[in-house]
Structure 1
Amino acid sequence: MRLSFVSDIHGNIEGLARVAERVEHLIVLGDLLDYVDYHDPAGGILGTLFGAEKVRHFTALRTRGDFTGLRTFNRGLWESIADPAGTLAEVVSGRYREVLAAVGPDTLLTLGNVDVASVWTEVAGDTLPYLDGQVVEIGGRRLGFVAGGASSRPAGPRPPEDQVWQPLVRPAAEYRASIDAVFADGPVDVLCTHIPPDIAALRYDVVPARLEMPGPGLVEAIDRWTPRLSVFGHVHQPLARRLRRGRTECVNVGHFQRYPRAFEIDLD
């Protein structure tokens, strides 16, 4: 029995459909959406709504590390349209319907930090609910899922610039609670997350030259419960794609948008 893992689809739904057609068991680790397509400024949600020139400016601010300017610019974009929340929900709903059609109801799927959980639930919750804090058994092996990203920001009202686009990024305590739920009944064989454990070589993206968001509590869970495999995505060009921590093999399954192939393992 073969499991095929993909992550960071970022709008490459045609590639996802091709993989889904040929695999035995497909497992999607999130970031279905592409808020900004840095390779094609006219693509992604911002490019679709506001055009390539706005995206180029957005990218320039991010590249310079001007995050204050980036938030101001982003807020201004959304304030320039009459119904930002409704417009965004319509675009995201359309893309999620395409994803659902591509993968079908038998896929195991969790969401990433870019995804909008409320819209996925509205579109696909009855057919393919996303997995978070849950364990699924396949071929006698237990797979545990933790969704989304985690923030160091304390729980509370979101700042104004975040109130239109509401990705699945939770306070660390909520993220840890999902990990605890996965292991509530004991070990799992495969720990499935979107973001990596807090190990520098797995977090470091060599292109922007920075450490990306880790999953708080993942390293501690790996050390305590020693799953055979920890799989994740999020870091598009990692310094290390895989390494071993004790008994656990930690694997970045790849940046599917640019390299549309699955990471595969045989359960036998």
Structure 2
Amino acid sequence: MIFISDIHHGLSGLKELPINKGPVVILGDLINWIDYRDGSGIARDVFGDQNIDKLIMYRKNHDFSSRKDLWKELFSNDPEKKQLQIEEAVELQYEEVFCELINHEVWIIPGNVDSASIMQNLAGDNIKFVDAKIIDYEGYKFGFAGGGVPTPINARGELSEEEFNKKLNSLKGVDIICTHAPPLVEELVTDVITNKIEQGWASLADFIANNSPTISLFGDVHQPKATRWRIGKTECINVGYNRATKNYIDLKDLIYD
């Protein structure tokens, strides 16, 4: 079993995944809305270079009010056409990602940019959606809780803290808890490249403190200040920004680490 996260339509990284490692567990964010390193993605294709360059600047400067206003302005001009363009681009990216994964057994939870319904409609028989489930594998109980932390952007895959906490409460007793976003710990949610404190789950931090799973696995924060952190007895691990690094984590390395 190997774990990856934040594919963001990075097809080259998927081509390099090993075949003989068991299930590929994807911890969310399969599509590329905006790559803040170079501006590529669905948003640039739909809204153009100049607007996306502004959005990136606002994000870097933590000017979320201007960013939100610009998004509202961009969608106000022929919103039905824009939404259709976005949906078509989203579906195409999912199709291309799933095509690269056709020779793998894949377990998926959604991230903050994901549409669970579109993924489920397009996925092949090799894809298993494991959100809110407990699965026994090789003597370990894995719990899965997908979705993104709520933000002013209101991305399609976001959940309220209350909704996420309800999901977590159905996963007590697991050895390994798998989520998209990290627990709310400053070192795990601070992105050192974008100079931004990202989002983390307060309820996940509480779940870990109260239930002491052996390992917490997640992604979401692309360049965190810390990739590993300990909450009590639990080792918290960011599995990496696969689009940029092509990184994956092997279950065997976690067990024998």
TM-score, length basis structure 2: 0.89
Counterpart-to-counterpart distance in 2, 1:38 and 1:263 = 24
Q: Report the equivalent of 2:167.
A: 178
Q: CA deviation at 1:134?
A: 0.7
Q: Report the equivalent of 1:108.
A: 107
Counterpart-to-counterpart distance in 1, 2:70 and 2:218 = 31
Q: 1:210 to 1:54 in 2, by over 3 A?
A: closer
* Superimposed CA distance per residue, residues 177-227 of structure 1 (whole angstroms, 9 cap, x where no aligned partner): 1101222xxx11110001111112111112233321112311221122211
Counterpart-to-counterpart distance in 2, 1:247 and 1:148 = 25
Q: Report the equivalent of 2:2.
A: 4
Within 5 Å, give how 1:81-92 maps onto structure 2: 81=78, 82-92=80-90
Q: CA deviation at 1:21?
A: 3.5
Structure 1 gaps of 5+ residues are: 154-160
The alignment partner of 1:182 has SS state of coil
Q: Report the equivalent of 1:75.
A: 72
| Paired letter, 1:49 | V
TM-score, length basis structure 1: 0.85
Within 5 Å, give how 1:183-202 maps onto structure 2: 183=172, 187-202=173-188
Counterpart-to-counterpart distance in 2, 1:174 and 1:152 = 14
Q: Report the equivalent of 2:51.
A: 54
Counterpart-to-counterpart distance in 2, 1:210 and 1:55 = 18
Q: CA deviation at 1:125?
A: 8.1
- % identity of equivalent residues: 29
Q: 1:125 to 1:221 in 2, by over 3 A?
A: farther
Counterpart-to-counterpart distance in 2, 1:152 and 1:48 = 23
Q: Report the equivalent of 2:219.
A: 233
Select the residue among 127, 148, 168 that pairs with 2:157.
Answer: 168
Larger displacement relative to structure 2 (122-131 or 193-202): 122-131
Structure 2 gaps of 5+ residues are: none
Contact persistence 2:106–2:126 (CA under 8 A): no
Contact persistence 2:5–2:29 (CA under 8 A): yes
Counterpart-to-counterpart distance in 1, 2:67 and 2:179 = 28
Q: Report the equivalent of 1:158.
A: none
Q: 1:106 to 1:175 in 2, by over 3 A?
A: same
Counterpart-to-counterpart distance in 1, 2:89 and 2:8 = 14
Counterpart-to-counterpart distance in 2, 1:128 and 1:246 = 34
Q: Report the equivalent of 2:36.
A: 38
Counterpart-to-counterpart distance in 2, 1:101 and 1:265 = 24
Aligned pairs, number: 252
Q: 1:87 to 1:127 in 2, by over 3 A?
A: farther
* Superimposed CA distance per residue, residues 203-254 of structure 1 (whole angstroms, 9 cap, x where no aligned partner): 1112233321112311221122211110001111111110222221110111
Contact persistence 2:108–2:131 (CA under 8 A): no
The alignment partner of 2:245 has SS state of coil
Q: CA deviation at 1:77?
A: 2.3
| Paired letter, 1:70 | R
Q: CA deviation at 1:129?
A: 4.8
Q: Report the equivalent of 2:127.
A: 128
The alignment partner of 2:217 has SS state of strand
Note if 1:214 corresponds to 2:203. no
Counterpart-to-counterpart distance in 2, 1:246 and 1:182 = 19
Q: CA deviation at 1:71?
A: 1.7
Contact persistence 2:181–2:219 (CA under 8 A): yes
Counterpart-to-counterpart distance in 2, 1:16 and 1:242 = 24
